[in-house]
Structures are given as C-alpha cells and as structure tokens.
Structure 1
C-alpha cells in the first residue's frame, strides 16, 4: 500500500442536484476508498433532481438519500482537484489546486431520457479521472 495520501476531488455545479451529484456518485462507486470525494453547489437546490436519481438507479447507483450541499472555501481548500460544471466564476480559486471545467448539458428540468447521455458522459469522464489520479488502477 502506498504511503502517499489519497487524492481528493470536489465536483461543483450550480444546484448540486444533478451533474456534480452524478459525478461524485460515480467516483465513489468506481474508485471506492482510493479517492476522497466531495460535491457542492454555488446555489444548492432543495433536493436532488428526480430524473437524475432515476438515471443513476438505472446504472445501479442509489443517490436518492443525497442532499445538495453549499460550496464552501473549506471544501475547495481540502481538495486537490476541483471540477466545475457550469458554476462560472463563483468557485473560489486557491493556489496549488488543479481546476478542470467539464462542459456538460444541465439536466435541470429534463426527463430521464435526456439525463441518460449526460450520465454516460460523466461516467466516462470519471473513469478517465480515476485512471489519471490512481496510476496502476484501471477504472
């Protein structure tokens, strides 16, 4: 087992009700305890998007109990990689962090049929991220 600490990733979108929740769930599911996972929103919704919950359930991942969380400077500071998904300039920037911006359609107001391709795109991006962050372990 490696002596180095495990990498940490923060996924950020506006409402923390769709894209960032799917990404965090896939990363947790696929990487297990090899990567620390957080998600947050710059203006969190009250609940997770039901179409997102349904699309993730189809992929075998239950996120029904998740709740949107507010983005804090502490969450950014505690993360090695910050992945934004349409939150614009609201994400605090700290030196020494890796920032990635994933251009993804917003599932807000969409049905499950429209969410599926977004979900699948996120899964592919998360698998690639795992492969980058944990060399020697394939997602």
Structure 2
C-alpha cells in the first residue's frame, strides 16, 4: 500500500525475476522509507534468477525473500512512476502516471560476469531516480 506523502515506483519486466527485482532491491536500499517500491512481471517466473540474487548479494543487498509477482492493474494504479524493462505493451496505461522504459539486457541465462554490468547500469538509473523523487530537504 502506498503512502500519500511519498511516491510509489513500480518496476515491471516479463518474468519479474531479474531486472525488476534488482531495481526494486536498489530502490529499497537507497531510498529507504522515502519511496514505496513495487515490482511485477507480465509473465512471472516461479522463482528469482539465482545469478541476479548473487549479483545483488555482492552489493550487500539481499533479495532472496522476494517472489515474482503478476502485474496487476491495481499495482499500476497505485504507482506514481512505472518503469518497464522489456515488457512491451503489456503494461496498462493510466493518465497522469509517469512511464519510463529502461532498455536493459535480460540477465536470464547469463553468467555472473555478464550480469554485473546490467546490475551496475540499474544502480546508476535507480540513483538518478532517487535524486529526482527525494530531493534534499
């Protein structure tokens, strides 16, 4: 559930097992309770990508308790910012929402040394998002 005083961000990718989970992990870590974080997939996997989990663990962020979730209209409705990552047109569009599409390689099936640059790109994008959504007081 979102809080009116803070923005809500929804990260969406197809399987909700890699990119969107890494982005959500970073946003939770970097923004703390200043932002509500949601993530979902248009065709969620049955578990997280273990290489994405390992890549995030290297950063000191534990996403092992996360579970891929199905994208719902309600999740989009609750969000102020919807960031898609390769899910095409499956995300419902609501007027007044901010939408961004982050073109990122899908880490599925890739070894750790190829997932690290994807993770690092996600971190840079999330850091910029945090700076926009939570300006210094």
TM-score of the pair, normalised by structure 2: 0.96
Deviation at 1:136, TM superposition (A): 1.0
Equivalent position SS for 1:37: strand
Number of the residue aligned with 1:100: 100
Deviation per CA, 1:8-37: give whole Å up to 9, x if none: 100000000000000000000000000000
**Which runs of structure 1 show a deviation greater than 3 angstroms over 4 or more consecutive aligned residues?**
none
Corresponding residue of 2:71: 71
Q: Does 1:35 align with 2:26?
A: no
In structure 2, what is the equivalent of residue 134 of structure 1?
A: 134
Residue matched to 2:17: 17
SS at match of 1:51: helix
Q: Deviations over 1:53-96 (max 9, x none)?
A: 00000000011121100000000000000000000000000011
Could you state the TM-score of these two structures normalised by the residue count of structure 1?
A: 0.94
Structure 2 Cα separation of the partners of residues 65 and 10 of structure 1:
18
Q: CA shift at 1:135, angstroms?
A: 1.1
Where 1:30 maps in the other structure, the secondary structure is: helix
d(CA) in 1 for partners of 2:113 and 2:39?
A: 24
Q: Which residue does 2:109 correspond to in 1?
A: 109
The aligned counterpart of 1:51 is 51
Q: Which runs of 5+ in 1 are unaligned?
A: none
- Alignment coverage as a number of residue pairs: 134
What RMSD, in angstroms, separates the aligned Cα atoms of the two structures? 0.9
